[in-house]
Every structure is written in structure tokens, then in C-alpha cells.
Amino acid sequence: MEYPTYRLESHTAAMLAEAGLSPLDVESMVFRAVVEDIDGGVDVTTVATVPVDQRGRLAFVARAPGVVAGGVIVAAVLDVVCGEDKHINLAAREGARVEAGQTILEVTARTHDLLRAERPALNFLGHLSGIATLTRAWVDAVEVTSAQIRDTRKTTPGLRGMEKYAVRIGGGVNHRMSLADAALVKDNHVLAAGGVAEAFEAVRTAFPQVEVEVEVDTLDQLDQVLAAGADLVLLDNFATDQLTKAVARNAGRAKLEASGGLSLPRAREVAATGVDYLAVGALTHSAPVLDIGADLTVIEQE
């Protein structure tokens, strides 16, 4: 299948599409990152120190243990910077656990191009691998339960698709990608509508085909939205004993999502109450970057 792109090779575009990413969106973001880094000029250090015809091999190597995400984005960076004059070896698959010193990806190309691609590639790879690594830690923490780890819309502007992709790679599941995907009735909507049940009914009437999730702060509000027929209920800042009571009152009628005040040490305790999801904004807004380095080897100089 052909994908409409400007600079990406067809197999890169196919990999991105298979990963659930828009090739055109990724290409646009990558191009902006590359242009930002050169800022209309040249790489003065490389131009001054590296022979123009020199070729090299750049290895992206983990400096710390983690979970790999973003190799497909690095391939897009290399397409934009190097064109077809390169060879890429994806040494570690997406979602693989890597140890310090393990090579994630290697590319052979003109050294000038490699050094221009290095920082944008590392920025994407380290950030997305950091999200996948943190997500995997949460997933591992609740593995003895049936609960799933779910992200939020607390994403970096412009990077939502990539960041939610990294969550999937880490074993988490995505909540809505945009405001149009599903309804989430929160406290401000409840205030504007005149009540939690009223807000739910308003959305259900206006958009009957859309899944409606309702945020509640108390068990009494939970009873109201369950009676109204909510598909999914977000239990905001519930203590563990309240979560247990909420699961019992729900009796399987709706999916339940715990949110607010969650931390990794508390993850298993919350999951053990029987909720279906743990909503973790930190997956995307607070994940530490995975430390990854880029090591150059000169292989040819004309």
C-alpha cells in the first residue's frame, strides 16, 4: 500500500501506519525538529571538522535499562536528513527491554548527515522510550490484577500521537485521542449542566452513539450516574476503601476508572480493589527521558 508522503521512504511510512501513527503527521513533526536544529544555517562544527565525503556508522546505545519506543520515528528522521543514502539496522524491536550498553539502532550514512540527524533522533527516541519505560513499570505493578493502565490527554502539544503510541508500546491502553472521540463529563460540565445526572443525559441525548464517561467525587454521585446508564465512571480521588465500595455498588454495570492521587507504589493496592482502569497522567507529562547515547565510528573517507 502506498502512503502519501513527501520525504519518507515507502517502507518507513508503512511501518508508521502499522504502528497507528500518521506518516504525514510524523514527517511534519520530524521536519520541524530538523529545521529547528539547523535554524536556517549550517552545522558549523561538523562543517569545520568533518570531511564532506566521510561516511560513518552511528549506533544508538542505551545508557540505562528501559523499554524501547521510537525506533520508527528515528527512521523517519533519517529519511528526512539522509534521504536514500543510508542503511538502517533496527537492532532492538519496539517494546523490547534493553540493558545499559545494548544497541537499539545502527545507521550507516554520510557523517555530515548522521551528525545533523543525531540530536533530533535522540530527542524523540529518549522521550518516547522514557514513556514506554514508565508505562511498563505501572503495567508490571498491576500484573496480578485485571486492571489496565490508561493514559490521559496530558500530552505535549503536537506530540500526542507519538506519546500515546509509546504508552501502547509500554503495555498501557489509550484513553481518547481527542475531545471528539468520546465524552468525559467532568466537574465543570456538571456545574454548567446543573447536576451529574443532568450532564450525562445531555451528552447521551446529543450524541447517542458516543461512549460517555462521567467523573464522580462521591459514592452518591456514582449511584446517580449508574442509574442513568453511564458506560464508564471515573472515580476521582477516591481512597482505597471508597474504591472497594464503588466496585461493590457498581456490580459490573459500568467500567470503573480510578484517577487522581495515584502513585506507582500504590498502583497494586488500587488495582486490587477491582477497578478496570488506572488513569495515569504522569505516563506522558512526567516520564523521565531514557538515557540513550549515539556513538560514531568512521568507516570510510574518500
Cα 24 to Cα 113, 168, 202: the distances in Å are 22, 20, 36
Catalytic residue among 153, 154, 255, 266: 154
Annotation says 154 is catalytic: yes
Residue 48 burial class via C-beta count within 10 angstroms: exposed 0-12, middle 13-18, buried 19 and up: exposed
Residue 179 burial class via C-beta count within 10 angstroms: exposed 0-12, middle 13-18, buried 19 and up: exposed
* Secondary structure class of 154 (helix, strand, coil): coil
The set of cell numbers assigned to 268 is 497494586
Give 234's strand partners: 215, 257
Catalytic residue among 32, 63, 93, 186: 186
Catalytic residue among 7, 119, 153, 245: 119
Three state DSSP letters for 30-65:
HHHHHHHHHCCCCCHHHHHHCCCCCEEEEEEEECCC
Catalytic residue among 118, 236, 257, 276: 236
What is the Cα 7 distance to its own chain's centre?
24
Catalytic residue among 113, 215, 257, 276: 215
Annotation says 27 is catalytic: no
Residue 255: in which H helix or E strand, if any? strand 255-259
Annotation says 186 is catalytic: yes
Residues involved in catalysis = 119, 154, 186, 215, 236
